[in-house]
Amino acid sequence: MTDLNKHSLETEGLTKAFGGVRAVDDATVSFQEGKINALIGPNGSGKTTFFNCVTGMIRPDSGTVTYQGRNVTGHAPHRIARAGLGRSFQLCRIFPRMTVLDNVLAGVRSKGLVHRLRGAHNPDDIARARELLARVGIEHLERSEARDISYGQQKLLELAGVLMAEPDTIMLDEPAGGVNPALIGRIATLVRELNAEGRTFVIVEHNMELVMSLSDHVVVFDRGRPIASGAPAEVQNDPRVLEAYLGV
Amino acid sequence: MLSASKHEESRTHPGRSVLVMKLVAAAVALGLVLAFPALAPDPFILSVGVVIASYAALAVAWNFVGGLTGYISLGHAAYSGLGGYGTALLITEAGVNPWVSMVVAAVLVGLAAVPIGIASLRVRGASFVIVSIALVLILLLVAQSWADVTGGSNGLRVPRPFGTDVLRPEQHERFFYLFVALTLVALVLWWVIDRSRLGTGLKAIREDEDKAQALGVPTFAYKLVVFVVSAFMTAMAGGMYALWFGSLDPIFQFSILTGSYLVLMSLLGGVRSLLGPVVGAVIVGYAVEFFKNQYGDTQLHLVALGLLLALVVLFMPDGVIPWLTAQFDRFRPGDTSIREVDAAQLAEERKALEEAKS
C-alpha cells in the first residue's frame, strides 16, 4: 500500500481574488498520492477556481502549488499537464469539429520538431487512442465528429483525451454532472480501475453518494479555504461541514 | 466479432477506389493548370492567369494561420509587401541576384515575423484581426513617407529578372509556372503540417485553445511556428509578384483589400481543406478581374465581391469544397450512425446479452 502521508499535490496559502471577492483564500491543502481524493463544498466555495489555480489556467495572487516536489506555481497549463497533472472541465470541453479519434490524438505527448511532424494517424498513436476509446466504451464512434455524440459520450471522450496525455494525477471537475445514473456507475468504475493502476485522483463533485462511495480522502471547502479533511465517514459528521452545507 | 472488426477496418480506411479517383482528379487538374499558358487565347488572359496563380500562392500561405489555428489575419499584405520591397531593394541597392533576393527577403520577413507573432498572437478573436490590420496600416504609412528608400507614392521600379530580350507573353508564361510551383510547395508544406501531430495540436487550438493547453499542447509555440511559416511563404509570393510586375506602389502593396481577398478566397474555398484556398483563389481572382473589366474604374467590383461573400456565408458557410464533399457523400452508401447487421449477427448479439444477464 502507498504511504498514507505521501503527498504528490500540495498547495500552501493559495489565494486568488476577483475584485473584492477572495474566491480562493489562503488555501493550504494536500492530496494523498495514489488515492481518490474528493474536493467538496457548497456552490461558490472556490473549488473550480482552486482547480484553475493548480492547473495553471489562472495565476494565483499568492501562495504556492507543489506537484511531486516541484514548485509549479504560475507555470503555463501545458507545462503542468506535461508534468503529469491532467484535468477535465466542469462543463465538459471537447473539440467539437474534430473526430472522436482526433480528439483523443490531440492529447498525445511529443517532444521536439521531428516527433511533432510525425503523422498524427501513425499506427502507434492510433492503437493507443483506440485502446483508450475502447476502455471508456465509445470506440464505435471514432469517426463521428465530437459535436454529434451525446453529452455523456462527450464526457467519456474528454476522459479518454486526458488519459492519452499519460497523467499521473487526474483532476476531474464534476464528472457526474449532467449524466444519467448508469453512466455515473460507469465513470465510477473507470475511476476505480485507473486508481488501482496507480493514478491519483482529485475529484470535485456534488453527488454526495458518489463522493462517499468512491473517495478515500475528502477535503471540504467553504469560502475559498479547506475547513475539514479526512476519511469520508469522518467528514460527513463534522459539525463544521454540516454548518457550511446547511447553514445551521 | 470478426465481422465487426472488418467493418471497422473498412470504415477507417477510405476505399482504395476513392483514393485513385482523387489522384486522377488531381492529375487532370494539374494537367489543365500546366496547359493553361498554351490554351490562353491572348497575353491579357495569360496575365490574369498569373494574377490568379499569385493569389493561390498567397491564399495557401495565409491558410497556415487562418485554416490551422483559426486566427484570422486581415493584414497579410504586410508580409507580401515587405517581401516585395525587400526583394526590390536587395536587387537595386545591393546588386543581389533577383532570385536570391526573393529568398533572402522572405527569410528576413520570416525573422521579423517572430517578434510580430510574439506580440500579436497573445490576443485572440477580433483583437487579433485588429492588430493585423494595424500592422499593415503602419507599414503603408512608413512606405509612403520614407520616399528616399521606397520611392513613396511614385513607386519603386524592379528590374526584370529575365532581361529585356524576353518578351511580355514569354514573361507571363514563365511567371505563371513559377507561381504554380510556389503554390505546390506551399500545398505540400501545408499537407505535411496538417496531417502531423503538430497539425492535430493546431486544430485543437482552433477548436478550444484553453482545453488544448490543458491537454499539454504548447499552444503559443505552435501558433508561432505556423505564423512564421505563413509570413515566409507570403513574402516569397510577394517577392515573386514584385519581380513579375516590375513596379511597387505602397497603396497596392500594403493594402487591406489584398488581405481581405485572401480571407475571402480561403473562406470561399474552405479553410479546413488543402485545396480550399486554391479553389477560392481561382473563383475570387477571376471574379475580381472580371468585375474590374465590367465596371471599369468604379468601385462596383467591390460591391459585387461583397455580394459573393454574403452568398457564400449564407449557403456554404464551410466553403465550396466541404459543400461539394457533402453533396457527394449523400450519394455514397455507408457512413451512417446506424450500424447495419444481418440476422445471424443479431442472434449472436442477443445470445451474448442473455449470457451476460444470467
What CATH number corresponds to the domain at position B219? 1.10.3470
Task: Find the closest chain B residue to A144 by CA distance.
Answer: B337
Q: What is the rounded distance in angstroms from the CA atom of residue B75 to the CA atom of residue B262? A: 10
3-state secondary structure A217-245: EEEEEECCEEEEEECHHHHHCCHHHHHHH
Work out the pLDDT band at B327, boundaries 50, 70, 90: confident
pLDDT in the model for residue B345: 72
Question: What mean pLDDT is predicted for residues A91-98?
Answer: 92
Smallest CA–CA distance, residue A10 to chain B, in Å, is: 19
A122 and A225 share one domain: no
CA distance A177 to chain B (A): 18
**Which band of pLDDT confidence, cut at 50, 70 and 90, is reported for residue B11?**
very low
Both A65 and A121 in one domain: the answer is no
Q: Is the pLDDT of residue A105 over 90?
A: yes
Give the total number of structural domains in chain A.
2
pLDDT, tens digit, for every residue of B140-183? 999 999 998 888 888 899 998 888 788 888 899 999 999 999 99
**ipTM higher than threshold 0.95:** no
Domain containing A77 — which CATH number?
3.40.50.300
Tens-digit pLDDT profile for residues A59-86: 999 999 999 989 999 899 999 999 999 9
- pLDDT, mean of residues B10-28: 76
Position B340 in a domain: no
Does the beta-carbon distance from B195 to A121 stay under 8 Å? yes
B5 lies in some domain? no
- Residue A58, pLDDT score: 92
Of A114, A131, A166, the one marking the end of a domain is A166
**Tally of domains within chain B:** 1
- Residue with the bigger pLDDT between B358 and B296: it is B296
- B228 shares contact with chain A (CB less than 8 Å): no
pLDDT value at residue A112 = 85
Is A143–B219 a contact, with Cβ atoms under 8 angstroms apart? no
Q: How confident is the model at residue B3 (pLDDT cuts 50, 70, 90)?
A: very low
More confident position, B185 or B339? B185
A-proximal residues of B, 179-208, CB under 8 Å: 192-193, 195-201, 203-204, 207-208
Asked if A65 and A11 touch (Cβ cutoff 8 Å), the reply is yes
**Single residue among A102, A137, A166 that ends a domain in this structure:** A166
pLDDT above 90 (res B357): no
In a domain, B27, yes or no: no
Residues A77 and A171 in one domain: yes
- Indicate whether A129 and A75 sit together in one domain: no
Interchain proximity A105–B197, CB inside 8 Å: yes
Q: In terms of residue numbers, what domain contains B212? A: 43-330
How buried is B27 (Cβ within 10 angstroms: 0-12 exposed, 13-18 middle, 19+ buried)?
A: exposed
Is residue B203 classed exposed, middle or buried when 0-12, 13-18 and 19+ CB atoms within 10 A define those classes?
A: buried
**How far apart are the C-alpha atoms of B5 and B216, rounded to whole Å?**
32
Q: Residue B100: inside a domain, yes or no?
A: yes
At B339 the pLDDT is: 55
Residue from A187, A236, A230, A234 nearest A208 by CA: A236
* B189 has pLDDT over 90: yes
Among B19-28, B68-77, B210-219, the least confident range: B19-28
Of A118, A139, A166, which residue sits at a domain end? A166
Contact A120 B219 (CB under 8 A): no
Residue B204: per-residue pLDDT: 96
**Do A213 and A172 lie in a common domain?**
yes
Residue B25 lies inside a defined structural domain of this protein: no
Which chain A residues contact residue B337 at CB under 8 A? 144, 148
Mean pLDDT, chain A, rounded, equals 90
Q: Are residues A181 and A149 in the same domain?
A: no
**Residue A185 sits in the same domain as residue A162:** no
pLDDT of the residue at B4: 42
Mean pLDDT of B203-217: 94
Domain that includes residue A121, residue range: 92-166
pLDDT value at residue A238? 85
pLDDT at A130 over 80: yes
| pLDDT category of residue B10 using cuts at 50, 70 and 90 | very low
Provide the angle, in degrees to the nearest 10, between the axes of the packed helices B256-269 and B43-69: 80
What value does the mean pLDDT take over residues B31-53? 92
Is the residue at B92 inside a domain? yes
Whether residues A115 and A43 fall in one domain: no
pLDDT tens figures, B65-111: 999 999 999 999 999 999 999 999 999 999 999 999 999 999 999 99
Q: What is the DSSP string of chain A?
A: ---TT-EEEEEEEEEEEETTEEEEEEEEEEEETTSEEEEE-STTSSHHHHHHHHTTSS--SEEEEEETTEE-TT--HHHHHHTTEEE--TT----TTSBHHHHHHTT----HHHHHTSBTT-HHHHHHHHHHHHHHT-GGGTTSBGGGS-HHHHHHHHHHHHHHT--SEEEEE-TTTT--HHHHHHHHHHHHHHHHTT-EEEEE-S-HHHHHHH-SEEEEEETTEEEEEE-HHHHHT-HHHHHHHH--
SS3 B257: helix
**Chain B interface includes A131 (CB < 8 A):** no
